[in-house]
């Protein structure tokens, strides 16, 4: 970049697809590199602790101002800044607004944008459509778990919540585990289930057996890998989360939990291997929200932190997947070990995958160059 002139690259959704945002294997490899960096500490997120998920605007139940939005499911705005070091070496921020009523207008529930910035000057490098970016990186982080923690001959994938995120997860897991041939789906409505099935038939023909489950128990039983991505409002309370009984779980099952799910206390305290994407994220949530955090933040790792707070769980029981990837902690013990893998979602993931997509776009002349200024009016 020839300063003081500043150009940035605009990538719309079509450009992002052309630049490979949906390459699930490449995205999973990118997330693996990122998780290793998180373990080393070569990153920063928001807040004084450097590990905040982001800053969120929510709305009141009532307001004296007639134009102010009121609280509703998934109605919020959020800014998620981060810096990622290593080979990425870039800053950025994901920004989004969300409202479940968007679907009535033919829009996604959340509309996301990503900005990448030069780490030294703060100058913008790229503004990109981020709905697909966010969805695929959200699937890539559990994908790393499937790659390294699932049993090698896994055949049955159980899906709870057949929305966009789990469709991406199915595509990712199928690419990483060609042995998968049976898909079990538990959803709330026929429309989302049918959309998921259509997606799977188009993208993942290896699933020769697709079973729609009437109950959570039916979906969990006999599944080798499970992914939970149900839509759950923040603060809805632990009683609203899908609850899995230990007696339903197949030996050796891997649970990937980017969405809400709950388990019997004894399985967490005495039974399963507990894995998180970055324990510092859960420590930050425990600082930012009141106890018990799991009642507010539905991600499973928050329950681990509540148990540590209560003296029921030793912090050493919780293993960062980045440390495991860096050889500091063991992977799966044997084919009978049940693994609970909590995925919180972090802006470092968006920055890392965004940078790889941006680099590909630059190399292949994808996108539209926009000029910020040739020379700044004020400096």
Q: Where are the domains of the chain?
A: 6-133+348-373, 139-347
pLDDT digits (tens, 9 = 90+) for 291-321: 999 999 999 999 999 999 999 999 999 999 9
HSE at residue 330, side-chain half, CA atoms within 13 A, is 8
pLDDT band, very low/low/confident/very high, at 90 (cuts 50, 70, 90): very high
Token code pair at residue 292: 């018990």
Q: Please state the rounded mean pLDDT for residues 224-245.
A: 89
Please report the pLDDT score of residue 1 as a whole number: 63
Please report the pLDDT score of residue 236 as a whole number: 80
295 contacts 63 by C-beta, under 8 angstroms: no
Residue 198, SS3? helix
Q: Please state the rounded mean pLDDT for residues 141-162.
A: 97
The whole model's pTM is what? 0.94
Helical (H) or strand (E) element with 320: strand 318-320
Whole-number Cα distances in Å, 342 to 233, 314, 347, 363: 18, 17, 16, 35
148 pLDDT more than 70: yes
Domain 139-347 CATH (choose: 3.30.300.130, 3.40.50.720, 3.90.550.10, 3.10.180.10): 3.40.50.720
C-alpha span between 159 and 166 (Å, rounded): 7
Q: Which CATH class is domain 6-133+348-373?
A: alpha beta
Cβ neighbours for 326, distance < 8 A, ≥ 6 positions apart: 36, 39, 40
C-alpha span between 368 and 363 (Å, rounded): 13
- Matching fold, domains 6-133+348-373 and 139-347: no
What is the DSSP secondary structure assignment for residue 103, as one 8-state letter?
A: G
**DSSP β-ladder status, 110-117 and 156-160:** unpaired
231 pLDDT more than 80: no
Cβ neighbours for 349, distance < 8 A, ≥ 6 positions apart: 31, 34, 137, 138, 140, 141
Residue 292: asked if its preceding bond is cis (omega within 30°), the reply is: yes
Whole-number Cα distances in Å, 27 to 125, 141, 226, 326: 20, 9, 20, 19
Neighbours of 126 (CB within 10 A): 23
């Amino acid at each position: 970049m020839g300063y003081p002139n500043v150009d940035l690259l605009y990538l719309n959704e079509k450009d992002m697809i052309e630049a490979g945002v949906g390459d699930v294997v490449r995205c999973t490899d990118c997330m693996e590199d990122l998780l290793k960096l998180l373990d080393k500490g070569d990153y920063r997120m928001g807040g004084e602790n450097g590990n905040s998920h982001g800053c969120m605007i929510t709305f009141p139940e009532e307001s004296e101002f007639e134009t102010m939005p009121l609280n509703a499911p998934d109605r919020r705005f959020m800014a998620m800044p981060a810096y990622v070091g290593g080979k990425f070496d870039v800053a950025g921020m994901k920004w989004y607004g969300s409202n479940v009523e968007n679907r009535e207008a033919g829009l996604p529930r959340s509309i996301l944008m990503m900005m990448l910035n030069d780490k030294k000057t703060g100058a913008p490098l790229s503004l990109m459509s981020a709905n697909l970016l966010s969805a695929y990186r959200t699937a890539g982080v559990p994908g790393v778990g499937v790659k390294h923690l699932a049993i090698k001959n896994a055949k049955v994938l159980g899906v709870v919540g057949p929305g966009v995120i789990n469709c991406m997860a199915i595509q990712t897991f199928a690419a990483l585990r060609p042995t998968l041939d049976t898909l079990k789906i538990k959803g709330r409505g026929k429309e989302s289930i049918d959309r998921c099935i259509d997606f799977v038939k188009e993208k993942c023909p290896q699933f020769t057996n697709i079973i729609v489950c009437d109950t959570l128990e039916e979906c969990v039983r006999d599944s080798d890998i499970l992914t939970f991505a149900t839509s759950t409002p923040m603060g809805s309370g632990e009683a609203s989360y899908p609850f899995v009984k230990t007696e339903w779980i197949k030996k050796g099952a891997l649970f990937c939990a980017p969405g809400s799910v709950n388990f019997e206390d004894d399985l967490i305290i005495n039974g399963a291997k507990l894995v998180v994407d970055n324990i510092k994220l859960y420590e930050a949530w425990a600082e930012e929200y009141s106890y018990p955090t799991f009642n507010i933040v539905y991600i499973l790792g928050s329950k681990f932190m509540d148990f540590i707070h209560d003296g029921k769980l030793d912090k050493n029981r919780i293993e960062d997947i980045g440390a495991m990837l860096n050889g500091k902690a063991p992977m799966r013990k044997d084919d009978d070990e049940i693994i609970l893998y909590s995925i919180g979602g972090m802006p470092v993931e968006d920055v890392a995958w965004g940078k790889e997509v941006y680099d590909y776009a630059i190399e292949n002349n994808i996108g539209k160059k926009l000029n910020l200024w040739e020379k700044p009016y004020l400096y």
